[in-house]
Amino acid sequence: MTSGGLRTDSRWLALIVLCAGMLMIVLDQTIVNVALPAIAEDLKFGQAGLAWVVNAYLIAYGGLLLLAGRLGDLIGHKKVFLIGLGVFTVASLLCGLSFSAEMLIISRFVQGAGGALATSVTLGMVVTMFPEPNEQRRAIGVFSFVAAAGASLGLLLGGVLTDAMSWHWIFFVNIPIGIVAAVAAVRLVPDSVGLGLREGADVLGALLIVAAVMLGVYTIVKAEHYGFGSAHTLGLGAVALALLVGFVQRQRTAAKPLLPLRVFKSRNVTGANLVQISMVAGMFGLFFLGTLYMQLVLQYTPLQIGLAFMPVAGAIAVFSVSLSARLNIRFGERNMLIVGLLFMLVGMVVFTQVPVDGSYVAHILPAVAPLGIGLGLSFPALMTLAMSGAAHDEAGLASGLVNTTAQVGGALGLAVLATTSTTYTSSLLASGVGRLEALTSGFHLAFWISSALVAVALGLAVFVLRQVSVDREAQPVLVH
C-alpha cells in the first residue's frame, strides 16, 4: 500500500519523527517552569526579569505561528519544519550556555521562533501524509498524545534534570533529540512542493499579524503585573486590537492574502478554534495553579509534582493513542469531544474542593484522572474537526491557526487565573486569614473560573460544531 510515494510503514516512521520534534518543543514549554528558582539564583535574576524567561518564548512562539504555517504552504512544509528544528536546537544550546540574564532571554526568544516554525506545520503534514480518514484519525491520535501529554511530562523531566544535574541540562537535552529528529526527517518525512511565495507573499499582512499577536500575548502575560483595568493593559490591548483589525482589512483587499478569510467559512474550523481557546485557557490555568497548590500548600517537590500529574499523561496515552480513533469512527468526533469536555469539567470541579491538608489519593488523583481521560478524548477529536474544512493547499495555514489559538488561549488563561487568584489571596491575607487558607481559597476561585471556561467550550461544541461523516474512500466531509 502506498500513499504519496511512501510505503505505509514509512509514513508511520515519518509520524514518529514529526512527533519527536513536536515533543521536544512541547516539553520545553513546561520543563523550564520547575527550574526557574535555580536559574534565578545562578544568573541573578530579579523577580520581574525572571518572568521573561517564559514570556520571551511565549511572545515569539505565539506571534510567529500563523505566519510560519502559511510559509509552510508556500515554500514546503518539510523545509519549514527542518528550519524550525535547526533554529530551536541551536537556540537550546545557547540557552544552556547562557552566562547572563540577557543572553538567556534573547536565546529563549530565538528558541520560541524555532518552535513556531517547526510546530506550525506539523499537524498539516500529518493530515497530508494520511489522507484516508480512518488512518488519519489514528495518526492524529498519536499527534494529540504528544501535544497534550508533553506538558505533564515536562514537569517530571524538569524536576529530574534540575535535581540530579543542573538547570543547564533542561536545554542541553534538546540538542541530541533535535539532531536525530532532523537527520531522520530528511530521510523519512515526505517533501512537498509549496505554492511559491508569489502565491501569498503578503509582507504587510505578515507584519500586521505578527505585531498584533506578539503585542497581544505580551499584553496578556503582563496583565498579571499591571492589572486588566490598568492604562498599560487597556492601551496596549487597544493597539493590538487595531493591528488585528488592520490585518483583517488587509486580507479582505489583498490580491494574495496571507490568511484567506474563506478558511473561516468552515463552521468547524472556526468553531473548533473557538473551542480550543476556551478549553486551553481553562486547562493551562488549572495545571499552572494546580502545580502552585501542590508546591506552596502541600509542600511537594518538583519531582513529586511531576509524578502527581503522570496519571494525566497515562490516561491521554491510553485514550488518544489506543481508543480515540475507534471511538471517533463509532460515535463521531463532535460527540467524543463533548464527552471529553464533560470529563474535563468533572476533574476541574473536583479540583475546586481540594483542602489545605489535602492528600494525593483522596483529593488530587480523583481530579487528575478524569482530566487525563477528557484530554485523551478531546484533543484528537478537536484536531480532526479543526482540520476537516481546510483545503489541501491550506493545511499548513490551518495547522498554524490551531497552534496559534492554543497559545493565545493558554496565555489568556494563565494571566486571568493567576491575577484573579493572587488578588483574592491578597485580600484574604489583608483581612487576617492564615497564609495556607488564603492561598487555597485563591486557588479555589481560579479552579472555578477554569471550570467555567471549559463549560463555555462545551457549549460551543454542542451548539456550533457539526459532525464529520466518514467516507473511507475520501476526505472527511461536513454534515449539514
- Mean pLDDT, 10 residues at a time, the chain of 480 residues: 50 88 80 75 71 78 80 85 95 92 91 90 83 82 76 70 78 90 89 66 80 82 78 92 92 80 81 91 84 86 79 82 82 93 96 93 93 89 79 68 79 79 90 93 94 95 78 38
Torsion angle, CA of 446/353/286/384, rounded to 10 degrees? Answer: -120
pLDDT given for residue 389 in this prediction: 63
Range(s) within the chain of domains with CATH label 1.20.1250.20: 7-190, 263-466
CB 345 within 8 A of CB 451: yes
| DSSP structural state of residue 191 | P
3-state secondary structure of 355: coil
- Among candidate residues 170, 185, 179, 70, the one with its CA nearest the CA of residue 116: 70
pLDDT given for residue 371 in this prediction: 92
3-state secondary structure of 3: strand
pLDDT given for residue 224 in this prediction: 67
pTM value is 0.78
- Give 7's strand partners: 2
312 residue type, one letter: V
Count other Cβ atoms within 10 Å, centred on residue 225: 14
pLDDT given for residue 374 in this prediction: 93
Sign of CA dihedral 218, 151, 388, 140: positive
For cell 515526505, the residue is 190
75 residue type, one letter: I
pLDDT given for residue 199 in this prediction: 63
pLDDT given for residue 307 in this prediction: 83
Which cell is 37 given?
A: 528558582
Q: How many helices and strands, by DSSP H and E, does the chain display?
A: 19, 4
CA separation for the pair 284, 411 (Å, rounded): 8
Which parts of 293-332 fold into alpha helices (H)? 302-308, 310-316, 324-331
- Among candidate residues 6, 1, 263, the one with its CA nearest the CA of residue 129: 6
Q: 7-190: which CATH topology?
A: Growth Hormone; Chain: A; (1.20.1250)
CA separation for the pair 122, 150 (Å, rounded): 15
Homologous superfamily, domain 263-466: MFS general substrate transporter like domains (1.20.1250.20)
For cell 491520535, the residue is 141
pLDDT given for residue 474 in this prediction: 38
Cα dist. 311→39, 231, 271, 287 in Å? 28, 42, 29, 13
Phi, psi values for residue 469, rounded to 5°: -80, 155
- Give 3's strand partners: 6
CA separation for the pair 204, 385 (Å, rounded): 30
Cα angle 62, 86, 4 (rounded to 5 degrees) comes to 90
- Among candidate residues 377, 324, 336, the one with its CA nearest the CA of residue 467: 336
pLDDT given for residue 387 in this prediction: 78
CA separation for the pair 26, 268 (Å, rounded): 25
Cα dist. 350→35, 296, 347 in Å? 28, 19, 5
pLDDT given for residue 348 in this prediction: 94
